[in-house]
Amino acid sequence: MFTSPGIKAKTRLYIACCILMYSQSNFALNQSSQSVFESQSIVLNKGSVPISTVFDKIEHQSSYKIVVSPMIDKNQKIYIDTQNNDIESLLMQIAENSSTLYQINNNLISFKEKPKPVKTNSSQQKKTLTGKVLDESNLGLPGVVVQVSGSNQSTFTDVEGNYTIDVLKHNSSLTFSFMGYKTQKVIAKDNLIITLEQASSDLDEIIIVGYGTQEKRTLTTAIDKLSVSEKDMRNVGSAVELLQGKMAGVNVNLTSGNLGTGERVSIRGISSISASNEPLYVVDGIPIYNPSAQLFNMGESMSSLTTINTNDIESIEVLKDAAAAAIYGSRANNGVILITTKSGKKNSSQVRFNFNTGISEFSGRNKLKITDSKMYIAQYNSAVDNYNKQYGLVVGDPDFKTHIYNPFGDLPDTDWLDVVTQRGSFTNADLSFSGGSEKTTYYIGGTFLEQQGVIKTNSMKRYNLNTKIESELTPWLTIGTNSNLAYVKNNQVPGPNLGSTIIGRSIEQRPFDRPYKPNGEYYIGGTQEMMRHNPVQILNEQTSYLDMYRYIGNLYADVKLLPGLSFKNSLNTDYNYTYDYLYYNEKHPYGTGVGRLVDSKRTITNIETESVLIYQGVVNDFGINAMAGHTFQKVKNNTTGIDARGFPSASFDVINVASEIKGATGYITEFAMESYFSRLSIDYLSKYMLSMSLRTDGSSKFAPDTRWGWFPSFSAGWNIDKEAFMENIDLGAKLRLSYGSTGNQEGISNYGYQSLLSGGNDYGLASGIAVSGFGNQRLTWEKANQVNLGIDLAFLKRRVNLTVDMYKKNTNNLLYSMPIHATSGMSTVLSNIGSMQNKGIEVSLATDFDFADFNWKSNFNIASNENKITQLIDNNGEPLSIGANRALQVGKDIGSYYLFVQEGIYQYDGQVPQQQYQRGVRAGDVKWRDRDGNNIINDNDREVIGSSNPKFFGGWNNSFSYKGFELNIQTTFSYGNDIYAQWKSGVLGRLGDRFPILEEYYVNRWQGPGTTNKYPRAIMGDTNNHRNSDRWLEDGSYFKIQSMTLAYNFNSKLLEKIHLSGLRVYMQATNLLILTKYSGWDPSVSANLDARFYGNDALGVPPTKNFSIGLNVNF
């Protein structure tokens, strides 16, 4: 409570309490050290004043810092007889008129409670007890108050957390208290080892904000923080997955269960039509380039955070509202995620080892019920009969269709999913060294991760080395370096963007087909032998991998110019090299009998210089946090690729032995951005807060006249519980209001405003140059203006904390490719053509209850976001169709579907309109809604219905602990989002095709009037029944048990005997349970991460179900 903005209270308490420990015997009403008092005057109202107010005034009106024992009653009042008081006389008044003693050491004034005389009885025997107090990292905690309960007998722990105290009763109890930590009371015993937990709501907590830090109590914007601990650790592909279900308004979903694949992260909805909707990621102050490597040949994107070791992460902050994110300007339209890795601590050393191993299973493996051979043949032959009957065909007619039969007789069917899947596995080992001296701190962490996916041949290895070193060379100069090195090797399998996944290729096979002939050769797909390409042949006869090398790091120098004023200069680097290799040997379906090699190399170099001037201090009662800075960033992308064919042997899969170079690509692109930014935050006694920021960005992507964008913000806060009328009310309350502007430039290429020429040799003749795109000199930033109103409430001595935020965000100048006249030679030109709105509400409820040895912590969060297009190019009032089943329309949201609507099944031929009858529609076919009433069903009859965006989503996380045991349960949920089951419309729902179908469609298909009004008849060559329609649109709502962890923490006293400071063992299960009406494997996956097409399920690999065991060891 009595702190200066930006200075860590806990660190000051460590120092001060260590001093107190050695000098507490010198406590007195008057000290000789009082002669060091500066001539400073403290202004107070005369009369009876709470002692807490006096402490607060001293700290805000002088250069002294206050440390107060938790045992002091801060509500007690003292009488002040003059308005202007020097510090010496004021301290004497405190000591004379309260139960408080003080001690002065340099600029620290420490207060503790006066000891009361203890009456002793000759029958009572004094006993001396010793013990130790640890923090959650099992490090000694200095400065903890250890008190004999019910008395004034107390002491402090020393620098290593040790204490010694005398007790008189054999049945006494000890109370351990420390600011920012939960008070513990235990029976007094000798050699106790106590671990204190941090309080659930610590207003002195430091929050990372853009280019600086701020105390939580003075925060005026919407920022959520996840302090990453061992409890949060689980088997995840990237760091951002740790946020699943943890923060209101932050929606994290995976694209598939293949190893290393990307995720979709949405903060407060969708902000752009065609530009990126991903947040900006900042790792240790370094804005990293996003998106990261693309798995070009295998059709899936890799997560940009897959190279970050989650065990190295200290905290993750999410800047949600524009006032918080505006300091990052043109890159912050979609929010900002700040990742801070661990650092060493002064005067300590620690070694940590973490190990985790387990198995992965294909989630929902047996959920789909697909026709066996008998049902498949029956439905196919009935489709043949219906076709021949409708068109009057008999044996001998050229178009007559014949029945099929099972060439393998009564042999068992092939389980095609079993053929291509396996039980996966993973092992993760992590070792770190951290610590430091008084002047230098260090952290070194190394990680090895090995994974086997649930699809055969899919595997991945990752190596990490993370180092952080900081050294105070002089009292005014500190230098440091952060370095994160990573290497990833990902052996890939085909992803959904190739048109079909390996799973898709498998479920398309007829149930009686087999991968191998009796002689061991492959059955060949696309022939009479097999329907589709043989998935086993695809996996076995290709070599496909992605090598990725990444360095994220910086060098910096921090100069203290004056008290409270510092200047920091950094050189930030994000270097990314990827090599994507794909070789089809001569046996592969795409190897064309001679072998084919496709590889590409990409180097992305992102360099940024950053200079920041920061002032933090107190002027009278005003806390000031000011910052101004400048950055210059340059990003260069160098990509080459080649397609070669004709190899003498699979062993010679290198370019120089190819007989033909089929194609080659190569390009270099770059862009630069220069920025100036500033922020000023002011608080008055931590009661009233005001913050303003301004950033301007100049980007080479835009023409000189539109190059610079301005992004201001304003926010204010009121700590209502600081008011006098709240003094005796157990309620914490803070009101926040903010407004800000952010931008987005990801929708424009590096040269989008310029007309471009391309060279090539596409037809094998002479090379040439042609216009490849028209520029637009008027292109400008997408810009969002957002207002946020929030309130933070705390009840029951901050055991219950409630946060509610309401926001409205308007995004203008949306970038989109606008159609132009074909005579121009181009079909579109990029333009700023539209606007959209997001508005919503977010609620978070956190609780923390102690019941003797039992503790229960919970966090429930829920968010609702409404997205709406408010302006778009004129399309004669009709939706703008995009893709196969989506549309953009004013008044609708991004993610709306554009589909035919099924009204039923024609039961009799006489019900079919003549125009449709002439096109082959008969009884048993689908009756589509004829929107324009012309009895002709075409694209004009589609309607905008449903949405891939949920009405609300969130998570509920619970942690239970009893003595050394822990049970952590993390759940997520989503409601109101629709999923388009593309795997049904394309394969498993197509009655009459040569593909297998779901049993549901075979059993319930139309077989005569009155049999069904939902499922059509089976007929070959159908062109009516399988349109993109609402029949394939399903409710994607779900409730998931995301993870469940059971752990045991061994007793510290036992561990000391084996020279360990901490040992935790655990069992964990992830993706344990999904409750959903969706008929597919997992409603949270999507074949496409693009916000316009998100929600299309092509039956990719779902997130796997994992079971693991692990341990965390601290030496």
Render pLDDT for 412-458 as a digit per residue (tens, 0 to 9): 999 999 999 999 999 999 999 999 998 999 999 999 999 999 999 99
Percent of residues, the chain, with pLDDT higher than 70:
90
- Do 1097 and 1080 form a contact (C-beta atoms < 8 A)? yes
Residues 191 and 223 reside in one and the same domain: no
pLDDT at 452: 95
pLDDT at 65: 72
- In whole angstroms, what is the distance from residue 447 CA to residue 974 CA? 34
Q: Which residue has the higher pLDDT, 920 or 818?
A: 920
Quick one: pLDDT band at residue 28, thresholds 50, 70, 90? very low
Does residue 379 lie in a domain region? no
Candidate from 213-217, 521-525, 1074-1078 with smallest mean pLDDT: 213-217
Render pLDDT for 95-136 as a digit per residue (tens, 0 to 9): 777 777 777 766 667 777 776 555 545 445 678 889 999 887
- CATH at residue 138: 2.60.40.1120
Q: What is the 3-state secondary structure (H, E, C) of 612-678?
A: EEEEEEEECCEEEEEEEEEEEEEEEEEEEEEEEECCCCCCCCCHHHCCEEEEEEEEEEEEEEEEEEE
Quick one: pLDDT band at residue 22, thresholds 50, 70, 90? very low
Render pLDDT for 762-803 as a digit per residue (tens, 0 to 9): 655 667 777 767 778 888 888 999 999 999 999 888 889 999
- In whole angstroms, what is the distance from residue 1098 CA to residue 607 CA? 38
Token readout for 327 is 């300091």
Cis peptide before 291 (omega within 30 of 0): yes
Burial class, 666, CB count within 10 angstroms (exposed 0-12 / middle 13-18 / buried 19+): exposed
294 pLDDT above the threshold of 50: no
What are the distances in angstroms from CA 104 to CA 24, 63, 92? 11, 13, 12
59 pLDDT above the threshold of 90: no
Quick one: pLDDT band at residue 10, thresholds 50, 70, 90? very low
- In whole angstroms, what is the distance from residue 862 CA to residue 99 CA? 47
For residue 457, which phi and psi values (nearest 5 degrees)? 80, -5
- In whole angstroms, what is the distance from residue 81 CA to residue 748 CA? 68
Does residue 376 lie in a domain region? no
Query: Looking at residues 497-512, what average pLDDT do you find?
Result: 80
Does residue 395 lie in a domain region? no
pLDDT at 429: 95
pLDDT at 682: 94
Does residue 495 lie in a domain region? yes
- Do 340 and 284 form a contact (C-beta atoms < 8 A)? yes
Quick one: pLDDT band at residue 32, thresholds 50, 70, 90? very low
Q: Give the DSSP per-residue string, 165-199.
A: EEES-TT-EEEEE-TTB--EEEE--TTEEEEPPBP
- In whole angstroms, what is the distance from residue 224 CA to residue 320 CA? 8
Q: Residue 274: CA atoms inside 13 Å, Cβ hemisphere, count?
A: 20
Does residue 456 lie in a domain region? yes
Residues 613 and 639 reside in one and the same domain: yes
Residues 615 and 757 reside in one and the same domain: yes
The closest of 646, 500, 636 to 575, measured between CA atoms, is 636
Does residue 338 lie in a domain region? yes
Sign of CA dihedral 69, 70, 74, 75: negative
- In whole angstroms, what is the distance from residue 1030 CA to residue 229 CA? 45
* Domain final position from 113, 143, 164: 113
> What are the residues whose beta carbons fall under 8 Å from the beta carbon of 119, sequence distance 6 or more?
none
- CATH at residue 54: 3.55.50.30
Render pLDDT for 723-756 as a digit per residue (tens, 0 to 9): 888 888 888 899 999 999 999 888 787 887 777 7
Q: Which residue has the higher pLDDT, 139 or 407?
A: 407
Residues 740 and 815 reside in one and the same domain: yes
pLDDT at 786: 96
What is the three-class DSSP state of 17?
helix
Does residue 394 lie in a domain region? no
Residues 285 and 157 reside in one and the same domain: no
The closest of 842, 844, 845 to 864, measured between CA atoms, is 842
Token readout for 432 is 């770190």
Residues 895 and 969 reside in one and the same domain: yes
pLDDT at 180: 63
Render pLDDT for 867-884 as a digit per residue (tens, 0 to 9): 999 998 877 778 888 888
- In whole angstroms, what is the distance from residue 88 CA to residue 83 CA? 14
Query: Looking at residues 370-382, what average pLDDT do you find?
Result: 95
* Domain final position from 85, 113, 141: 113
914 pLDDT above the threshold of 60: yes
Render pLDDT for 561-573 as a digit per residue (tens, 0 to 9): 998 899 999 999 9
Burial class, 719, CB count within 10 angstroms (exposed 0-12 / middle 13-18 / buried 19+): buried
For residue 552, which phi and psi values (nearest 5 degrees)? -125, 120
Quick one: pLDDT band at residue 171, thresholds 50, 70, 90? low
Residues 171 and 232 reside in one and the same domain: no
For residue 1059, which phi and psi values (nearest 5 degrees)? 60, 40
Query: Degrees (nearest 5) of the Cα angle 626, 628, 631?
Result: 150
Residues 96 and 189 reside in one and the same domain: no
| Number of domains composing the chain | 4
Task: Assign residue 796 a region (left: φ > 0; alpha: ψ between -120 and 50; beta: otherwise).
Answer: left
Helix ranges (DSSP H) in 391-458: 416-420
- The residue to which tokens 């049902």 are assigned: 375
Residues 684 and 586 reside in one and the same domain: yes
- In whole angstroms, what is the distance from residue 76 CA to residue 72 CA? 9
| Residue-averaged pLDDT of the chain | 85
Token readout for 227 is 């302090």
Length of the chain in terms of residues written: 1115
In this structure, the number of other CB atoms found within 10 A of the CB of residue 603 comes to: 16
pLDDT at 1019: 94
pLDDT at 13: 38
Residue 83 belongs to domain spanning: 9-113
Query: Looking at residues 681-686, what average pLDDT do you find?
Result: 91
State which H helix or E strand residue 902 sits in: strand 902-905
Query: Looking at residues 57-84, what average pLDDT do you find?
Result: 73
pLDDT at 156: 82
pTM given for the model = 0.82
Does residue 273 lie in a domain region? yes
Q: Residue 639: CA atoms inside 13 Å, Cβ hemisphere, count?
A: 12
In this structure, the number of other CB atoms found within 10 A of the CB of residue 959 comes to: 17
pLDDT at 102: 75
Residues 669 and 779 reside in one and the same domain: yes
What is the three-class DSSP state of 1040?
strand
- CATH at residue 820: 2.40.170.20
The closest of 830, 835, 857 to 785, measured between CA atoms, is 835
> What are the residues whose beta carbons fall under 8 Å from the beta carbon of 233, sequence distance 6 or more?
310, 311, 354, 356
Residues 140 and 272 reside in one and the same domain: no
pLDDT at 1037: 96
- In whole angstroms, what is the distance from residue 338 CA to residue 208 CA? 8
- Which range of 136-140, 326-330, 1087-1091 scores highest in mean pLDDT? It is 326-330
30 pLDDT above the threshold of 80: no
- Residues facing residue 264 across a β-bridge: 253
Residues 717 and 830 reside in one and the same domain: yes
Token readout for 54 is 């006096």
pLDDT at 341: 93
What are the distances in angstroms from CA 260 to CA 233, 241, 420, 548, 1043? 17, 12, 19, 11, 19
17 pLDDT above the threshold of 60: no
3-state helix, strand, coil in the chain (%, to 5): 15, 45, 40
**CB burial string 34-56: b at 16+ within 10 A, e below:** eeeeeeeebebeeeeebbbbbbb
Q: Which residue has the higher pLDDT, 750 or 27?
A: 750
Q: What is the DSSP letter of 94?
A: H
- CATH at residue 285: 2.170.130.10
